[in-house]
Every structure is written in structure tokens, then in C-alpha cells.
Amino acid sequence: MKRGGLGVWLLATGQTLSYACLFYSFAALILSLEADLGWDKRLFATGPMLAIGVSAVLAPVLGRQVDIGRGQALLIGGAALGGVALLALSQVWAVWQYLALWAVIGLAQAASLYEVAFGYLVRRFGAEARPRIIRVTLVAGFASTLAFPAGAALADAYGWRVAVIVAGAVMLLATAPLHWLGCRMIRSDTALEVEISHKGFASTALRKPVFWGLAGLFGLVGLNHWILISFLVPLLVGLGVSHASAVLAASLVGPSQTLGRFLLMQVEARMGTSRVLAITVAMMLAASVFLAGVGASAVLIFAFAALQGGAMGIMTILRPALVAETLGRAQFGAISGMLSISSLGASAVAPLLAAALFEGFGPMGMIGASFAMALGAMGLARWVVAQN
């Protein structure tokens, strides 16, 4: 079997653009949206929350579709649907239009982002999928680096509507073709490695305590990360950081994810998955501490971005590894999809929770909540490792 080569890199580029347009667009444009439409922060946050909620509900179903060989169609169709939805979103004036289109974006996210891409790679490459997954995440880690400066520049120059139109055009004219060509090249370079296991295997995972431990761990990690990232620019401005510095710090989270993944490649063979997991959650704890100290020294925002981004970047790779090591590779797509309900569900409520915390308790309330979630994740990580 060949290595997948260029096809994997093309898929990685498509994933980068997908995350920049479908996932980070809200965080990059929220201040411009608020200034133009004048709605409450919690109402704005309901849109991405609804999208991720739809994605969470659909994840097990679409994971099963990947298992039976429809991953390529999902990646291409999801990108195209996302582009159309973004173009429509650029024209909204009413709340119901805004929420309805975010629900459609949720369907596009479920079909075209990491869960389907990873499931597709596991199905094509089997036990050899991990280095390909790392390649995808190394490139896609730059999604926020692309989204925050580009979104801010376009919104400042032309308004948020033009910024969203550009994002929609990118999904239609770049992402969908990249997914099509990447998957086509991967299919031509590989034989099908993983066949469908016996019916009902995925449901047996629900009876294993480690499944629920992983679900809780992934949920807390997602909640910790996204209550901070979804409102990072307003949070930092509330702590006294300039808007330009806040945008810069937010844009550095992506490269930090890539750096974390690169470092993982260097040390995991010597340290093992369990030890890397413990260090990663500890990084999230330290990130919250540094963020709390930004009022004393603004330079700490960059330490926060490095630790938070690095930790989330490593977790992205550890997640499929943990699932495969604890629950097996058979019907990986369906099992991973079921587990993603907790992490995606946490991400869905994160913007709304962040808005409530920001309005009710201020920046320090958000930071305290994120620290508590990281503590809970640390406890679950230790328990999961002990069970394996």
C-alpha cells in the first residue's frame, strides 16, 4: 500500500479551510456582528450553539455512513452545503433566519470536519491511519490563524457580510474541490483496510464504563476550551488588553495547536499515551492560571495561547488514539461519532455559557469556570488510564 501522499495533504488543506469558515467565523466576527445587528451576546451565541448541537446529534449517524464507505461523499457534500449556507447567512436580518442557517451549518460541520475525515482515514489506512491524521491536524491547526486576521480585516474594511460571503465562496470554490481531489487520490493509493465488523458492535461500547469515562473527559476538555475561545477577543478586551493584541493572541492559538502536535510526534513513543494525556490536561490548567494573570502582565496572553492551543492540538490527536486503544478500531466511525456527542454538545453550549458567565461574573468568572473544568478532566483522565 502506498502512503497516501499528496491526497492526505489536500484533505488537510480542505480541513483547514473548513474549520476557518465554518467553525472560527463566529469568534472572528462576533464584535462586528454585534455592532451591526445590535442583538444580545447570548442570542448571537445561540447560532453556533445550535450548529454544534445539530452536529452532535448527527455525528453517530454520519459516522456509520463513513463505516459503510460514504465518507468521501460526506466530505464533499458537507463542504458545498456549508458554502451555500454561509452565502445565505451573509444576507440575514431576522433572528429566525440567523438561527435556521446556523442549523444548516451544523449539518455541514457534521459532514465535513474532523470526525468524518478521521473516520475516512481510519477506514482507508486501518492501523496506519495515525500518521495521516497527524498530517491533517498539523495543517488544520492554522485554521484560526487564517480565520481571525482575515475575518477581522475583511469585517473592518467591508463589514461582516462581505467577510461571510468570502467564507462561503472559499467553501464552494476551494474546500469542496480539495476534498474531492484528496479523497480521489487517497482511494487510488490504498486498498480498503478496515471492513465492517459484526452488526451491533458499536452499541456494545455503550456498556463499557471506559466509554463513559472518555465521553466525560472529551466533554470537559471541549467545554474548557470553547468557553474561552468562543469569547476570547471580548474576554481579553475585558481584561484590559487592546483589541489588536487580543486578535493577535487569538490567531496564535492555531499555530500553538500545530506546535503541540509536532512535539507530540517527537515524544509520544518515549512517554506513552497515558503520560502525554496527563501532561496535556495539566497544560490546560496552567493556561487558565496564566490567563487570570493577564491583568498584571499582558504578555501572559501569549503564554495562555501557547499552552491552551498546544493542549487542544495534542488532544485532537490523542482522541482517536484513545478511542482505538480502549474500544478498538472496528466500526471506529460509529463509536467515535457516539463519543463526539459529549464533546460537540459541550462545544455547543460553550458560547452560550461563556456569554452568561461573561455577563454575570465577568472575565474572571469565565476563567474560574474553565479551571474547574480542567480539574475535572484531569480526574477523568487518570481514571480512564487506570481502566486501560
State residue 343's pLDDT score: 83
State residue 210's pLDDT score: 85
Give the CATH number, domain containing residue 243.
1.20.1250.20
- The total domain count for the chain is 1
Give the three cell numbers for residue 169: 465562496
CA angle 341, 345, 347 (to 5 degrees): 125
State residue 196's pLDDT score: 47
Along the chain (388 residues), what's the average pLDDT of each consecutive run of 10 residues? 75 95 84 84 82 86 86 95 96 92 95 90 81 84 82 89 95 97 86 50 72 92 87 83 83 80 70 82 93 80 90 84 75 78 80 82 88 93 82
List C-alpha distances in Å: 190 to 5, 74, 127, 251: 11, 19, 13, 36
Q: Tell me phi and psi for residue 214, to 5 degrees.
A: -65, -40
Residue ranges making up the domain that contains 296 = 5-387
- Return the number of other C-beta atoms located less than 10 Å from residue 360's C-beta: 9
pTM metric for this prediction: 0.75
State residue 198's pLDDT score: 44
State residue 1's pLDDT score: 42
State residue 202's pLDDT score: 56
